[in-house]
Amino acid sequence: MTLAPRPRLLPGLLALSLAIAALAAAAVPAGASAATHHSASARTVHAAPKKKKRVAHKQKPAHRSTPADAPSSKLSTSKRRTKRAKPKHPPPTAPQHVAHAHGKREHAPRLLARCGFTPASRGKIFSHAVYVVDENTHTPLYARNADAVAPIASVSKLMTAVVWLDSAHAPLQRHLSITTADLDTLKFTGSRLDVGASLTRANLLHVALMSSENRAAAALSRDYPGGRPAFVAAMNAKAHRLGMPHTHFVNGTGLSPQNVSTARELASLVRAANGYPLIRRYSIDHEERVPTGNGQLQYVNSNRLVRYGQVHASVQKTGFINESGHNMVMRVMVHGRRPVIVTMLGSATPEGSRLDGVRIAHWLSCSLR
Are 194 and 178 in contact, with CB atoms under 8 Å apart?
A: yes
Is 154 annotated as catalytic?
A: yes
Type of residue numbered 167? S
Is 238 annotated as catalytic?
A: no
The whole-angstrom separation of Cα 308 and Cα 306 is 6
CA 123 to chain CA centroid, Å, is 26
Are 331 and 313 in contact, with CB atoms under 8 Å apart?
A: yes
Catalytic residue among 154, 268, 324, 353: 154
Catalytic residue among 127, 157, 268, 367: 157
Is 157 annotated as catalytic?
A: yes
Q: What is the helix (H) or strand (E) element at residue 185, kind and residue range?
A: none
Is the sign of the CA dihedral 272, 275, 276, 281 positive or negative?
positive
Which of 350, 352, 357 has the alpha carbon at shortest distance from 332?
Answer: 357
CA torsion 200→202→207→210, rounded to 10°?
-170
φ, ψ for residue 298, nearest 5 deg: -95, 125
Q: Which residues contact 164 (CB under 8 A, 6 or more apart)?
A: 205, 220, 221, 223, 224, 231
Q: 314, exposed or middle or buried, with CB in 10 Å at 0-12, 13-18, 19+? A: middle
CA 239 to chain CA centroid, Å, is 29
Are 201 and 170 in contact, with CB atoms under 8 Å apart?
A: yes
Catalytic residue among 212, 283, 324, 367: 212
The whole-angstrom separation of Cα 228 and Cα 222 is 5
Known catalytic residues are 154, 157, 212
